[in-house]
Structure 1
């Protein structure tokens, strides 16, 4: 019956339509991360965030408050489950996938050649709303843009460079007409209002994050982490490099892309800033999805100009390349294989983050064994002094099961939490060198070595593998603590 056929076709269009495909891909993203997210362990950065989540504030030394807020929410919902802790990050990446895939439709493209990119949510949403602004010419979209910039600044300060890119893009393109419209300035005001709590926190804490950022940047330059900024951009684009170039051409030079010139300048401006200022390569990673989307539109329109047979061949080739790209990136970035496998050993040469997810339970177990070997007198006023935030976070996460005291550290926001009252007299020390400790304590002895059950070399086993027991600070604790603050 014609009516039944119409219902069937409509049903198919619902389940196989563009929106449905976005939902499927976004859902698959969450599922993949949920399945693989607990393969190894907490990353050292996650351990620091987890600890900051227990001390919520409008700011922290190393970053603004949004990430610790979601970590706190994860703690409330899932406890200290690793997969649960990473749930909101997986949801954020799923939203990124959907937003990136939706951009081509706003650019007047179709469903062909859409590139899935795991990148930073608020940069991508900001770009998406800029596209909506340019497509609809409705200035009220500046409110959404302003909200994303404000939330982005509350998440990571590098959003400020993307905001500068938007300013430059407005001035250098036809979008400068919006400078005369109230909605742009409402958006600016909204971004400032959202960012204001962190700004007040910074003022109350003497803008400590500026000191932190200056220290980290100087360290990165000193050890050569910024030397290969441009070559390392290929690591983030991989086979998508052609799509990125196509997107840059479409937004900057193509007649069809004239309306969307802002996107090109939104990429080039932070690129120039990071090259001049010697930024880390990954700082720009979140700017690529908008150009992938623009490149897919250019590619789709270019296909129209070739014959049907060649079209089919190009489509097959493109999808093959994109699938290969996803597989390779997944193999590099997802903890799929066992930690001591040959596969993971090769992946660790490219993605060092895997190394930083291993060995934390063993480290805390070692500290507990040292504690058990101490005398009753040493137990009475015992402290655990850690060199970095990963060690401190690990002690505070896994230590309660052994009855260990909370970690003491001078790094980042841990310094603000002090050394306890009464101050400890005996300290188990990890992440430090004996020469440094002997200058601060009356006596120190080697007690153990750090290890992990996978035999994987990481910062703990390579740079400071020894654990010491030290007694009696040479200075009073308040005097020592004043000069003990450092960044990492």
Structure 2
């Protein structure tokens, strides 16, 4: 079977590639404005202690972070390179998806621009998190499925299986994407491949890639399930799972991209011309339904929108071609409207996602009203400096038996990143994978406590008093300065660490 992309010149991809490279360069110059995000600080620690699994995520993202550390040290730009690269590759893949759907140069370029300017992608390219890398695998899978459909070559199942396996090593929500692919395969002519050895070889590839992490989970009593249960309960309690379906209209692709991806979804689901590509509609609809039932966060569906936007661009292009020739005046009005639309998307997403605005400026406040990613990058060095002041104020003998106890992974990561230059010991923490690393070679007698409140330390079997306060030079309110700004020191601990530590494991 001939693929529609065969007759389309490869030079049409020059513009999408240029857009992706331009976005990558923009990232390299703007990803250093603030500081490490709390999630990145934990990732840095995990990257220094590689394993086949971690409580909060599978091992691929820490492995990429380790490569960044080896190549660039603790450079913000270097650390975020893979996140930025993943988003730029997704831009090219969106154009390739449009190409596989039969889109010409205009559809490919617009698909690339829309994918580049989606708010979630814009934010994800500036923070090294597993969601940034997970985004790429969903978009890649959409393109691989189209290659399978258009070529009829069952060997593409090997690549699909590899992408699923790598996706499972990135984020476990890949299972929801897989559910969409399975239903889409059964509900479309792709079900003919069920008798192909290549499909089952692809399944085997995905399982083999995921096997090391599955074994790690088994050895650790599937602790990530406990983590996910705890986090989901917290999210529901504080309202992070509210308005999941409504959030699809604005939170991921942005409100300005709504018409184009809705057009793409409708075209894939109902148009006879797109019947052979209906697997992509299932790839969207099934995860959407499953996440809605499971009460997931709205952004879990973000990776599905580049393929829908690409389909929308192709559908719009086909609609316009069917009405050719258009008059010169109409073409000029259309070109002007298109340029205005792209500029508005660029301005909106740039303000929300790029680290351009000075702290507390108008642009900062606009982005702060939408997300807290920038605010959670502020103040970590000041926190470490304050802890160092408290630590140095202790008698030398007491310092030898003093631990820094962090109640969240951001604090622990900050102490471990910035603390060595102040002579601080490695932080201990009961949170996530930190708990497995224990409380040190000798039980501490004095503890400097971060991330707690007076009510929280009141039941500590010891004498706890406030000795400092977390602040930052910008006066930014974030989790540290708003929720638990006081730092405590606890002495005369009536506790046997070997007995209490096994009961202290917590998730966050």
Tell me the TM-score normalised to structure 1 length: 0.95
Pair 1:153 & 2:168 matched: yes
In the TM superposition, 1:101-112 aligns within 5 A as 101-112=95-106
Q: 1:8 is matched with which residue?
A: none
Tell me what 1:116 maps to.
115
The one of 49, 53, 68 aligned to 2:62: 68
Residue 334 of structure 1 and its aligned partner are, at CA, apart by: 1.2
Any idea what the Cα deviations from partners look like across 1:117-140, whole Å, max 9, x if unmatched? Answer: 437111110111011111111111
SS in 2 for 1:139: coil
Gaps of 5+ in 1: 1-12
* 1:240/1:322 contact within 8 Å kept: no
Give the alignment of 1:102-251 within 5 angstroms.
Answer: 102-112=96-106, 113-114=110-111, 115-117=114-116, 118=121, 120-233=135-248, 234-238=250-254, 239-251=256-268
Which has the higher mean CA deviation after the structures are superposed, 52-61 or 316-325? 316-325
Does the C-alpha gap of structure 1 residues 375 and 441 become closer, same or farther in structure 2, counting only changes over 3 Å?
A: farther
- Contact kept? 2:185, 2:191, Cα under 8 Å: yes
Q: What do the CA deviations read for 1:200-235 (whole angstroms, capped 9, x no partner)? A: 000000000000001111111111111111121122
Alignment of 1:228-377 (within 5 A): 228-233=243-248, 234-238=250-254, 239-306=256-323, 307-309=325-327, 310-377=330-397
Please state if 1:441 is matched with 2:457: no
Tell me, in whole angstroms, the C-alpha distance in 1 between the residues paired with 2:273 and 2:503.
60
Q: Distance in 1 between matches of 2:214 and 2:74?
A: 30
The reply on whether 1:95 has 2:89 as its aligned counterpart is yes
The 3 A distance-change label for structure 1 pair 264 and 319 is farther
Root mean square deviation, CA, Å? 1.5
Query: CA–CA distance in 1 between the matches of 2:358 and 2:386?
Result: 23
* Aligned residue-pair number: 475
Q: How far, CA to CA, are the matches of 2:334 and 2:176 in structure 1?
A: 37
Cα deviation per residue 1:396-454 (whole Å; 9 max; x = unaligned)? 00001101000000000000000001121111111012233232231011101100111
CA distance in 2, matches of 1:184, 1:297: 29
Contact 2:13/2:95 (8 A) holds in 1: no
Does the alignment pair 1:54 with 2:66?
no
Contact 1:333 1:351 in 2 (8 A): no
Contact 2:251 2:298 survives alignment (8 Å): no
Deviates more, 1:162-171 or 1:176-185: 176-185
Instruction: Show the counterpart of 2:38.
Output: 44
Task: State the Cα distance separating 1:312 from its structure 2 match.
Answer: 4.0
Unmatched 5+ stretches in structure 2:
1-7, 122-131
Q: Give the distance between the partners of 2:346 and 2:286, measured in 1 at CA.
A: 28
Who is 2:26 aligned against? 32
Counterpart CA distance in 1 for 2:77 and 2:320 is: 42
Question: Following TM superposition, by how much is the alpha carbon of 1:175 offset from its aligned partner in structure 2, in angstroms?
Answer: 1.3
Deviation at 1:81, TM superposition (A): 0.7
